[in-house]
Amino acid sequence: MKHNRLFLIALSLLLFSTASYSQREETVLGERGWGFSGIWGGYHHQYTTYGNSAEFNRGGFFGFEFGKSLTVGWGHYRVTDPFNWQGAESQRFDFKWNTFKLGYAFIPYKAIHPVVNFDFGRGKVTLAGTEDRVFVMQPSAGLEINVFRWFRLGLEGGYRFVNNSDIAAVPRDQIEGAYGQASLKFGFSWGRFHKRKTNQDYRSHDEN
């Protein structure tokens, strides 16, 4: 129940941030709209902990961009190298999950700009051959760097929530946790950016 509340809070914050920025820019329902504006894919690399072990996750993603800011897509993650849980030779641990992805980039025409992301979907924990189906949620926030028009680098921090974990030897709080993530993003975004007009812009327009 606690994690369901956290899920709703994280999703509400993402939607509120998107709506707030849209209101300030005053172009979402007007000049810019939510038109299809790009296609992106790439790789995630996460540093995190499971129990008392520091590990890496890797993953890939693919998504469609709308309005130059909103990305909707799919992703997958897994532990880079399965390892022995708590050091026990007979307790080989693996974890992988697939997600639906939502992301929003603020002022994306800037070379460095803030982003928020939210991943959620089904996953599978495996311990010594025993499999358990779980539900994973990953809110995150950070910065994205426009290295080239076709390549972006993301640096984010987030938290992994796991629900429905039933393997007694792997408590839920041992597979949840904070993570740092680097994202390599490849693709293309077409069309022009519509920057927010300032009061000076409006005065210049009125004078003309």
Q: How far apart are CA 59 and CA 68, in angstroms?
A: 24
Q: What is the pTM of this model?
A: 0.75
Contact 91, 55 (CB under 8 A): no
Number of neighbours of residue 74 by Cβ within 10 angstroms? 15
- CATH number (domain holding residue 97): 2.40.160.20
Which class for 41: exposed (0-12), middle (13-18), buried (19 or more C-beta within 10 A)? Answer: middle
Domain count, the chain: 1
| Domain limits for position 96 | 2-207
pLDDT tens digits for the chain (208 residues)? 455 555 555 555 554 444 444 444 443 334 446 789 999 999 999 999 998 899 999 999 999 999 999 999 999 999 999 999 988 889 999 999 999 999 999 999 999 999 999 999 999 999 999 999 999 999 999 999 999 999 999 999 999 999 988 898 999 999 999 999 999 999 998 876 655 544 454 444 445 4
Number of neighbours of residue 61 by Cβ within 10 angstroms? 22
Q: How far apart are CA 78 and CA 73, in angstroms?
A: 18
